[in-house]
Amino acid sequence: MLLEEFDPSKEAVINPCMIHDKIPGFPETIVSAFSLMLFDRIVEFLDAEIIAYYNDVDGDKPVYKATYKGIDVALVKGRLGGPACTGTFEDVLAMGGKRIILLGNCGVLDSRIEDCGIIIPTKALRDEGTSFHYAPPSDSIEVNKKYVEEFKAICKEHGYKYTEGTTWTTDAFYRETPGKIERRKEQGAVCVEMECAGMQALCDFRNVEFFQFFYAGDNLDHSDWDPRSLAGHARLDDKEKIALLALELAVKIANIGE
């Protein structure tokens, strides 16, 4: 099968370093969110400045630099779906940086998880294609190999409850059928999204640290789909506060080595 043809070679025909040069002083930590409305709020809140661009068929996309509590971070908007998201970070990692903190939205497969509730994935089911180009074939990949305890401490400090569990990464959100949802729940999945498996595989392949957490959006654990706060404008103030947890983690990581 094609997805079993993993090639571990680091050299491809097209490599990110052919497209982008390293940027002097590029921040060690990259913080990212998928929602455009939320990301724009983060950029405005931090008074971030553009330091670079990457480019695709949709045009130029900015990379920002900002300072939060004395720590420099790069800000990059996440792109929807595994191929677009990993391609973006291949470009940005070529510019510099040692780790990615990614804030994602997800659908829940457990209705007990509240709207905008925080989820910390521990494993991702690889029901997609991108991760198979960065890691040997398997049904799942271990997620968040570092900084889980640090992030839990941040959540407790700021009064946020959280759920830990397996996430289901899929390429096709219009093919999340009732039968598939039940099978993924049997495999332990508590949520579903489109990027986690691929992003973890990318970061493992490139020897880059990776941490991702989600805020819960739509509810698929019901006979009728409930979009809840899936829309970008819904509960935006709450999502902005949740995004600050990613910045707090960047500060905590920077202080670990001191």
* 3-class DSSP state of 161: coil
Taking the CB of residue 41, how many other CB atoms lie within 10 A of it? 17
Give 121-177 pLDDT, tens digit per residue. Answer: 999 999 999 999 999 999 999 999 999 999 999 999 999 999 999 999 999 999 999
The alpha-carbon radius of gyration of the chain (Å, integer) is 18
Total domains, the chain: 1
CATH of the domain at 62: 3.40.50.1580
Asked if residue 158 belongs to a domain, the reply is yes
Mean pLDDT of 30-41: 96
Asked if residue 246 belongs to a domain, the reply is yes
Asked if residue 13 belongs to a domain, the reply is no
Asked if residue 190 belongs to a domain, the reply is yes
Asked if residue 122 belongs to a domain, the reply is yes
What local confidence, expressed as pLDDT, does residue 148 receive?
97
How many Å apart are CA 17 and CA 93, to the nearest integer?
Answer: 9
Asked if residue 257 belongs to a domain, the reply is no
Lowest average pLDDT, out of 2-11, 74-83, 95-104, goes to: 2-11
Asked if residue 243 belongs to a domain, the reply is yes
What local confidence, expressed as pLDDT, does residue 163 receive?
97
What local confidence, expressed as pLDDT, does residue 258 receive?
57
Asked if residue 59 belongs to a domain, the reply is yes
Q: Closest by alpha carbon to 66, among 244, 257, 253?
A: 244
Mean pLDDT of 20-24: 95
What local confidence, expressed as pLDDT, does residue 250 receive?
98
Measured CA distances, 73 to 33, 80, 100, 136, 206 (Å):
13, 22, 10, 31, 19
Where is pLDDT greater, at 183 or 220?
183
What local confidence, expressed as pLDDT, does residue 257 receive?
61
Whether the per-residue pLDDT at 73 is higher than 60: the answer is yes
**In the predicted model, what is the mean pLDDT of the chain?**
94
**Triad 97, 12, 9: Cα angle to 5°:** 85
Q: Where in the sequence is the domain holding 244, given as residue range(s)?
A: 24-252
Torsion 114-120-121-122 (CA) sign: negative
